[in-house]
Every structure is written in C-alpha cells, then in structure tokens.
A and B are shown apart, each in its own frame.
Chain A
C-alpha cells in the first residue's frame, strides 16, 4: 500500500493502514530529526474522505480526495498556495457553506456521520469540530467572555461553571498563567501569540473532538510559533488535530501524518516521517525539497 487511493479502508471500520515502506530509492534529508517513533497503526479512523471534491462554481478546488484521518493524532495538510488544502479543512466543519456557489461531491464523514447529509445540524457539527484561523481573531470582548462565548451560545449560563470552563480551557491552551489576573481585560490587548492561544482556548471550551487549524502560526513571530507548536504537542492525544501549514519544518515537527495536496488533488498521504524522508511521489519530493511551492 502506498498511494492515498490504496490507503483506503472500509467506511468507519478497522484500523488505518499506513505503510512506511519506501518504494523509490533516493531518500531526502531535510535536517529534521524530531520524528515521532510510536506506531501509528491501530488508531481508529475518525474522518473519512471518499472521492471528495469541492467546487467553486465549476472550478474544482479539491478533486477526488480519499484518505482517513485517525483519531487523536496530528495530521498535517501541506501543499503550495491554492492547492485546496484550506478548502478541504473548511469542508470538515462546513465553513465553506458561507461561500455562495460552493458545492461538494463524494463522501466526507466524521465518526460515521455523513457531514453533507441533509440531516446534519451544522451548529452541532461545529460544536464538535473547533477551528483556529490563520490570523488570531479574538472577539473585541474580555478574555473571559472570549473563552466563555462558545459555552454561552450553547446554553451555559451558570457563572461558576463558566469560570471553571474558562480556567480549564486557558490552562489547556497554556495561557492561564499569563492572563489569570486580567481576565476582564480586552482580548485585543494581548500579543499576537497570546491571542492565537486564546483562540485555541476558545475553541477548546466547547469540548470539540476535532480541532482544525488553518496555518495557525503563519502570522506569528518564531517564539510564538514555537509556543503554538508546543501546545499542539500537548493537545495531541486528546483531540484529533488537522493542521494546514505552509511551513514544512512545522509539519515535520508537529504532525504524525501528512497529506500532500497539489492542484486540488491529494498526491500522497502517509506517516510524516515517511513523507519527509522517503516520499513515494515525484511531486512530493520536488515540493519538500523546495523545487517549487
């Protein structure tokens, strides 16, 4: 098994079969030593993509993508600009619904539930699938109100319970110690990195299963980026994280699995270590060695 199409398994059943076997010699060294060594097989697949396509009008942004995203691991989606990786990410919590003339084909399911069937409650779905955006986008409200926003709109009004959730979420997002004395301050007064961690806390506060991250560190300085990456490492194992990134070192550092998209198509999907050391596809190799992109 090698290419994405081969990596398919039965809908919602069985372990994800991911092979690290190199099929082509001539592996590439890109100077990253920090690959995870634990076995990845045996994880339950959570998000299943089956010949999934997204069209804007008549143009296909994602074409025939088929792969499984396993539970409680970090999956990176990489590829050059305009390759459809963000579109794919936004399909998972149906944020593409906001774009007129956007339609999908094929199957995309979460935990056995088809995401695009008419019975799906989009509000409930988005409660299950949290999202962190490219630019930190806290609301112009207090730090407390930002984190409490999600629980509040889902009907939580008990002040004490909210305070617990806020504290827990901020601690999970490694922001608590920095802001615990000024929860009433406006969130826009925080630094960019803190704002992004606040957005992660805000997403965690509704207790999602999946966290989607759309280039979460691309607007941040290196130190803040490092903190976000540490945070992702901490959240791994608790949430299923799908992260879109431009930064290949970042993908290599934080992810267990990597999907490479090019011009709307999924070119290769596999263990991060394998993708970065022994890519099977020519295009993958060219991209990660920096020949284009």
Chain B
C-alpha cells in the first residue's frame, strides 16, 4: 500500500473515531439534560403560600407567625374573588331557567378549579385527603390551573376527516355580562398576590416521608428501600459469586461438565429480568416461603440471582488475570492452595472483583422488573432494617414506573417522578464513580 493511501486511511479512521465520540457525548447530553433540569424541579422550585402552610402543618417547619401573617395577606387578596363568586351565585338564582341551566354547569367547573387553586376557604369543612386541604403549592402547577380556569378546552369535530382540533375558549366570554365576568381578569392580574410564589429549596425531598400518594413530601421510603434491596442483593451475590469464581478458575479444571456450567452462567446473564422476577415470586415466596408475601428479603435474593452471572464472570476474569508467578512464589514458600488463594490471589484480583461488585450494585439498585412481584409496593412508610426480612418496601425504580403508569393524578406530581429519576441516576452514577476511584486506588497500591 502506498504511503499516501495509508495516511489517508489513518486520517479517515481518526475522523470516524472522533465523530463517534462526539455523537455519544451529544446523545448523553440530550439524555441527561432533561433528567437533570426537570429533576432539579423537585428540589428547587417556586413555592406558594399554600406550600408554606402545608410545610408548617405537616412537618412543623418554618416560622409559624410569619406564615400566618403571609396567609392573612393572601386571604385579603383572595377576598374579591370570593365576593364575586358569591355575587354570581345570588345572580344565578334569579336567571331565566335556560341560561341558568347552561351556566350552572360551567360555574361548578370554575368553582372546583378555584378550589384546587386556592384550597378550601377558611371555615369551610376540610376534605379528608391532604391534597384537598391545600391549594396549589407550586408555582408551575398554579399557572397550569390558572390556565384551566381562564380557558375552557373544546374540541372542534366539524371536519370529520381530521382529529378534533383543540380550541381554547376564554371563560370570560362564557360568563360575559354576569357578575363573574371580571373574576377572570382579576385572578390573572392578582395571581402573584393571591399565591405569593417564592423560590424554595427543598433538599429534604430526599429524606422526607411521602404523604397522600406522593402528592407531598419526599422520597425517603423509596431511597431506603432501594438501599436495602441493592445491598441485600450484594449480601447474597458477593460471597456466592466470589466462591464460584475461585472454584471455576482454580479448582474446576476443564471437564465437559464445567464448560456446561460456564455456558449456563453466561446464558443466565442474558435472561430477561422479568423472568427473574417471576422466578423469585414462584420460588422464593411461593415454594421456599422466605416470607408470606412480598418482602425486601425475597427481592434481594431475586436481584442477587440477576447480578450473580456478572459477579461470577468478572471475578473469574480477575482471578485468572493474576500473574501465575504470584501463585508459584506462594507455593514455593510452602503455602497450600487455599492459603495461596486467600493471601495472594484474591488480594491481587481485588480491583477487578470490586469493580464487578459496584457495577452490580448499580444494576441491582436500578432494576424494576425483578422487584415488581417480589419486593416493591407503590406506597409505604420507611421500614427499619430488621423489618426488611418480612416486609415489602417502596423502591425508586418501581415507584418511577408506578407514578408514570398507574398514579391517578400524575400530571400534578411530575416533579416527584423526575426527582426520583434524578436521584436514581445520580445514585448509580455515584456508585460507578466510586467503582472507578476504588479500582484506581487499589491498582495503584498493587502496582507500588
């Protein structure tokens, strides 16, 4: 090959490599940017006066006198809104029946939305669910609700060949000429005085219990559950994995049975995680009966099975990568096989083994399918360490899925979902970072 061609090939190869890396970096940014930006909304947001009242009542945090004073100011600003509603209710009674029938339904909708926005009026009976006891606590939700109050969504189906077209109809037009007409303009103009938004940092999102199906509070039960499940899985997977790896690398030899065993372990790594989940339910809970129903213990065992092939393969590689000369040196000094493994081979293989453990830890923390049937519940209180044996617990991956698919009012609490996603992603990233640092440190120590 000519020098020119070779140079050209070299250059184009370098260019393709750089392009690939840039594309990967870009896709990573595209992926992580919304997670970080939207997830941050769970921790830093504009909280309304309702948020501060709730915080005072549920958690006892904040300056009670200040909140009371602020609430009084907000109440003052809300006064005209309530007055207009009362005036309209009086007016409604004197309307001609046809118009009254039409406007009564419309008004009921508006009244409910204003109830969502502002919460129950002082002195009104309080609903049982916490979500009904307060108005909108977050400024973004406040604006969304305000938009619903100001405009009615309608769909124009006149053109049959197309899907319905969404039309926003201002409610001030619907109520034109009534006592309610000025309410909408007033609400829009005064919304800041009515809700009093203020930038709030809620780092306790991580450590608060959740209330009313995640409407309020934090994600501590989920964090704790994830922690128990991931470390519990390691409790089973690590000893079993290392012993198996050492057996395969040092004792097993090369019989047909052993290669069959190796193939089985490799195939196990490719089994879909939902299958592990069903197996965990069928075996650990129904057959062995480690717990009467879902429990963190059963979930940990299932996750351990899931990560076991990874731990075994990586640890075996690490053990095989230890220079034979170490083994020879130990044996020439009179060390037996077991002694050689414990005192020389395992320490030298430690960086590889640790890396596999920490990466498996990240995997176990993030897996959803294996814990659906074995360990996770959608709502629960944080459980103590010893309760993990017999009790289920919420866990981040499962609750993210649950909020996204099954929660009855997910639109109102998207920030919680994103907050959970961010927390999980950061947890796994931190674990991997730890793996890198630990590995570098131990390798450095081993290299001298």
Q: Which residues of A contact B (CB under 8 A)?
A: 93, 95, 98, 123-127, 130-131, 133, 135, 137-141, 149-150, 153-154, 185-190, 199, 202-203, 206
Contact across chains for A137 and B329 when beta carbons are under 8 A apart: yes
Contact across chains for A203 and B333 when beta carbons are under 8 A apart: yes
Across-interface contacts of B334 in A (CB, < 8 A):
123-127, 150, 153-154, 206
Contact across chains for B336 and A123 when beta carbons are under 8 A apart: yes
> Known contacts A123-B336, A187-B448, A189-B448; is A137 also within 8 Å of B326 by CB?
yes
Q: How distant is the Cα of A189 from the Cα of B329 in the complex, in angstroms?
A: 18
Across-interface contacts of A187 in B (CB, < 8 A):
448
Looking at the assembled complex, report how far the CB atom of A150 sits from the nearest CB atom of chain B, in whole angstroms.
4
Across-interface contacts of B333 in A (CB, < 8 A):
126-127, 130, 149-150, 153, 202-203, 206
Contact across chains for A95 and B447 when beta carbons are under 8 A apart: no
Across-interface contacts of B328 in A (CB, < 8 A):
95, 98, 133, 137
The proximity string for B residues 320-357 relative to A, scoring 1 for CB distances below 8 Å and 0 otherwise, is 00010110111111111001000110011000000000
> Known contacts A123-B336, A139-B344, A140-B446; is A95 also within 8 Å of B331 by CB?
yes
Across-interface contacts of A125 in B (CB, < 8 A):
334
Contact across chains for A93 and B332 when beta carbons are under 8 A apart: yes
Contact across chains for B448 and A95 when beta carbons are under 8 A apart: no
Looking at the assembled complex, report how far the CB atom of B60 sits from the nearest CB atom of chain A, in whole angstroms.
54
Q: How distant is the Cα of A247 from the Cα of B328 in the complex, in angstroms?
A: 24
- Residue among A93, A126, A140, A199 making CB contact with B447, cutoff 8 Å: A140
- Residue among A127, A133, A140 making CB contact with B348, cutoff 8 Å: A140
How many chain B residues touch A (CB < 8 A): the figure is 21
Task: Kindly state whether residue B445 has any CB partner on chain A within 8 Å.
Answer: yes
- 3 tightest CB-CB pairs across the interface, nearest first? A186-B448, A188-B448, A189-B448
Kindly name the residue among B323, B326, B333, B447 whose own CB sees the greatest number of chain A CB atoms within 10 A. B333
Across-interface contacts of A131 in B (CB, < 8 A):
332
Contact across chains for B329 and A199 when beta carbons are under 8 A apart: yes
> Known contacts A140-B347, A149-B343; is A130 also within 8 Å of B332 by CB?
yes
Q: How distant is the Cα of A154 from the Cα of B343 in the complex, in angstroms?
A: 13
Contact across chains for B331 and A139 when beta carbons are under 8 A apart: no
Q: How distant is the Cα of A97 from the Cα of B333 in the complex, in angstroms?
A: 15
Q: How distant is the Cα of A98 from the Cα of B328 in the complex, in angstroms?
A: 9
Looking at the assembled complex, report how far the CB atom of A142 sits from the nearest CB atom of chain B, in whole angstroms.
9
Contact across chains for B339 and A153 when beta carbons are under 8 A apart: yes
- Residue among B325, B336, B343, B347 making CB contact with A137, cutoff 8 Å: B325
Looking at the assembled complex, report how far the CB atom of B359 sits from the nearest CB atom of chain A, in whole angstroms.
23
Looking at the assembled complex, report how far the CB atom of B336 sits from the nearest CB atom of chain A, in whole angstroms.
6
Q: How distant is the Cα of A226 from the Cα of B427 in the complex, in angstroms?
A: 56
Across-interface contacts of B447 in A (CB, < 8 A):
140, 186, 188
Across-interface contacts of A98 in B (CB, < 8 A):
328, 331
Across-interface contacts of B330 in A (CB, < 8 A):
139, 149, 153
Q: List 30 A-B contacts (CB under 8 A).
A: A93-B332, A95-B328, A95-B331, A95-B332, A124-B334, A126-B332, A126-B333, A127-B334, A131-B332, A133-B325, A133-B332, A137-B323, A137-B325, A139-B344, A140-B347, A140-B445, A140-B446, A141-B347, A149-B335, A149-B343, A150-B334, A153-B335, A153-B339, A186-B445, A186-B448, A188-B446, A188-B447, A188-B448, A190-B448, A202-B333
Q: How distant is the Cα of A185 from the Cα of B445 in the complex, in angstroms?
A: 9
Q: How distant is the Cα of A202 from the Cα of B325 in the complex, in angstroms?
A: 14
Across-interface contacts of B326 in A (CB, < 8 A):
137, 139-140
Looking at the assembled complex, report how far the CB atom of B394 sits from the nearest CB atom of chain A, in whole angstroms.
44
Looking at the assembled complex, report how far the CB atom of A39 sits from the nearest CB atom of chain B, in whole angstroms.
33
Q: How distant is the Cα of A95 from the Cα of B344 in the complex, in angstroms?
A: 17
Which residues of B from 425 to 448 have beta carbons under 8 Å from A?
445-448
Kindly name the residue among A98, A125, A137, A185 whose own CB sees the greatest number of chain B CB atoms within 10 A. A137
Looking at the assembled complex, report how far the CB atom of B81 sits from the nearest CB atom of chain A, in whole angstroms.
75
Looking at the assembled complex, report how far the CB atom of A85 sits from the nearest CB atom of chain B, in whole angstroms.
17
Looking at the assembled complex, report how far the CB atom of B146 sits from the nearest CB atom of chain A, in whole angstroms.
67
Q: How distant is the Cα of A188 from the Cα of B344 in the complex, in angstroms?
A: 14
Across-interface contacts of A123 in B (CB, < 8 A):
334-336
Across-interface contacts of B331 in A (CB, < 8 A):
95, 98, 126
Across-interface contacts of B325 in A (CB, < 8 A):
133, 135, 137
Looking at the assembled complex, report how far the CB atom of B347 sits from the nearest CB atom of chain A, in whole angstroms.
7
Across-interface contacts of B323 in A (CB, < 8 A):
137
Across-interface contacts of A202 in B (CB, < 8 A):
329, 333
Q: How distant is the Cα of A150 from the Cα of B331 in the complex, in angstroms?
A: 10
Contact across chains for B343 and A203 when beta carbons are under 8 A apart: no
Kindly name the residue among B323, B330, B339, B448 whose own CB sees the greatest number of chain A CB atoms within 10 A. B448
Q: How distant is the Cα of A206 from the Cα of B331 in the complex, in angstroms?
A: 13
Least CB separation from B442: chain A residue: A140
* 20 further interface pairs, Cβ-Cβ under 8 Å (given A98-B331, A140-B448, A185-B448): A95-B331, A95-B332, A124-B334, A126-B331, A126-B333, A133-B328, A139-B326, A139-B330, A140-B348, A149-B330, A150-B334, A153-B335, A153-B343, A154-B334, A188-B447, A189-B448, A199-B329, A202-B329, A202-B333, A203-B332
Q: How distant is the Cα of A199 from the Cα of B446 in the complex, in angstroms?
A: 17
Looking at the assembled complex, report how far the CB atom of B293 sits from the nearest CB atom of chain A, in whole angstroms.
49
Across-interface contacts of B348 in A (CB, < 8 A):
139-140
Across-interface contacts of A138 in B (CB, < 8 A):
329
Across-interface contacts of B448 in A (CB, < 8 A):
140, 185-190
Across-interface contacts of A188 in B (CB, < 8 A):
446-448
Across-interface contacts of A126 in B (CB, < 8 A):
331-334
Across-interface contacts of B445 in A (CB, < 8 A):
140, 186
Q: How distant is the Cα of A138 from the Cα of B329 in the complex, in angstroms?
A: 8
Q: How distant is the Cα of A113 from the Cα of B341 in the complex, in angstroms?
A: 29
Q: How distant is the Cα of A123 from the Cα of B339 in the complex, in angstroms?
A: 11
Looking at the assembled complex, report how far the CB atom of A46 sits from the nearest CB atom of chain B, in whole angstroms.
18
Looking at the assembled complex, report how far the CB atom of A219 sits from the nearest CB atom of chain B, in whole angstroms.
11
